């Protein structure tokens, strides 16, 4: 996922017109359409509907817009402050993160980096753990926040924060008053990340048998798609509780009562130890502060630092 795609979607959602969005972004209407299509394919859901000249966001599009706006506002603050600086005066740090982090404390990190280093340009990419790890190994990132560390002599890893995990579902599928055993959960359809990804790998030991999970599985590589599919009743999901607080509060989702809790999800930060040492050290230090700030603002049983 590229920053240009995030900017395109937020602009399109604001002007509600492909041609106007193209003019504002100094590009072509086909380019806007291609960027939207690429986002929809990556996120695994329809974000906007065009019919009879009208344009509107889908419920999934509204959810994506909220997170994209937070990221865009933080990046725009950086651009405004850097206006008039020469290219040689601007330092760049490349940060990658999974969408769980983009929806929690990433905006705080970017804003804080801007305050501490006004000449710093943050290049932020939101990807899955596998792509982030591979990108780091190929030199695409300076710092990443994912579910797996990067192994190698030139990399250093640290525990960023930990999120509580919960089984959640809508009342279309589950009884919120019932306590479910592992055997009963195994009979329900499950919406999760694809086989081979870290979230799937973390989930399968819960059932002690991967075939049980795979037999009733719907998979997508997008956290937002999983949340919406669970709301629509396609199955239950094992998710960081903090990422669905709003949906729980609205009654769209319920935390299942279970006889066996899920293992919490640790977020691992990995950074390049041999390049941009000062900038990387600043980003790592501030990431610890931003994660701690976020965890201190929410239910400490749902997100914490160690």
Tokens found for residue 155: 């990399």
CA distance 112 to 68: 18
Max avg pLDDT among 34-48, 186-200, 239-253: 239-253
As a whole-number percent, the residues of the chain with pLDDT over 70 amount to 91
Asked whether the predicted pLDDT for residue 150 surpasses 60, the reply is yes
The least confident of 45-59, 163-177, 179-193 is: 45-59
Instruction: Give residue 41's pLDDT.
Output: 87
Q: Which residues contact 203 (CB under 8 A, 6 or more apart)?
A: 192, 213, 238, 262
Distances (CA, A) of 22 to 3, 15, 27, 48, 153: 16, 10, 5, 16, 45
Taking only the tens place, the pLDDT of each residue in 70-111 is 887 677 666 655 554 443 445 899 999 999 999 999 999 999
The least confident of 41-55, 178-192, 205-219 is: 205-219
Q: Are 35 and 49 in contact (CB under 8 A)?
A: no
Q: Are 99 and 226 in contact (CB under 8 A)?
A: no
Taking only the tens place, the pLDDT of each residue in 189-239 is 999 998 888 988 888 788 876 555 656 788 888 899 999 999 999 999 999
53 pLDDT band (50/70/90 cuts)? low
Instruction: Give residue 12's pLDDT.
Output: 85
Q: What is the mean pLDDT of the chain?
A: 87
Q: What is the pTM of this model?
A: 0.70
Q: Which residues contact 300 (CB under 8 A, 6 or more apart)?
A: none
Let me know if 261 is exposed, middle or buried by CB neighbors in 10 A (0-12, 13-18, 19+).
exposed
Let me know if 259 is exposed, middle or buried by CB neighbors in 10 A (0-12, 13-18, 19+).
exposed
Domains in the chain, please, with CATH?
1-66 (1.10.10.10), 90-163+264-306 (3.40.190.10), 165-263 (3.40.190.10)
Q: Which residues contact 260 (CB under 8 A, 6 or more apart)?
A: 181, 182, 206
CA distance 254 to 233: 12
Q: Are 38 and 9 in contact (CB under 8 A)?
A: no
Taking only the tens place, the pLDDT of each residue in 254-286 is 999 999 999 999 999 999 877 678 889 999 999
Q: State mean pLDDT over 156-169.
A: 96
CA distance 253 to 167: 10
Asked whether the predicted pLDDT for residue 55 surpasses 70, the reply is yes
């Amino acid at each position: 996922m590229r920053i240009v795609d995030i900017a395109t979607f937020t602009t399109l959602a604001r002007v509600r017109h492909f041609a106007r969005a193209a003019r504002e972004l100094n590009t072509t209407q086909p380019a806007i359409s291609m960027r939207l299509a690429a986002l929809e394919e990556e996120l695994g859901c329809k974000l906007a509907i065009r019919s009879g000249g009208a344009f509107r966001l889908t419920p999934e599009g509204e959810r994506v817009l909220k997170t994209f706006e937070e990221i865009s506002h933080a990046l725009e603050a950086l651009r405004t402050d850097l206006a008039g600086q020469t290219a040689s005066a601007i330092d760049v740090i490349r940060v990658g993160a999974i969408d769980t982090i983009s929806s929690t404390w990433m905006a705080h990190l970017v804003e804080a980096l801007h305050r501490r280093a006004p000449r710093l340009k943050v290049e932020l990419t939101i990807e899955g753990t596998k792509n982030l790890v591979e990108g780091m190994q190929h030199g695409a990132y300076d710092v990443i926040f994912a579910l797996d560390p990067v192994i190698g002599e030139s990399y250093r890893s640290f525990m960023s924060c930990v999120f509580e995990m919960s089984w959640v579902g809508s009342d279309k599928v589950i009884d919120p008053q019932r306590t479910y055993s592992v055997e009963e959960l195994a009979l329900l359809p499950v919406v999760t990340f694809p086989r081979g990804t870290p979230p799937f790998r973390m989930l399968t030991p819960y059932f002690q048998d991967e075939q049980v999970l795979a037999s009733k599985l719907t998979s997508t590589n997008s956290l937002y798609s999983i949340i919406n599919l669970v709301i629509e009743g396609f199955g239950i999901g094992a998710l960081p509780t903090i990422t669905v607080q709003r949906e729980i509060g609205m009654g769209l989702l319920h935390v299942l009562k279970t006889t066996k809790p899920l293992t919490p999800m640790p977020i691992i930060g990995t950074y390049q130890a041999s390049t941009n040492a000062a900038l990387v050290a600043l980003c790592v230090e501030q990431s610890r502060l931003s994660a701690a700030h976020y965890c201190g603002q929410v239910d400490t049983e749902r997100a914490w630092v160690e």
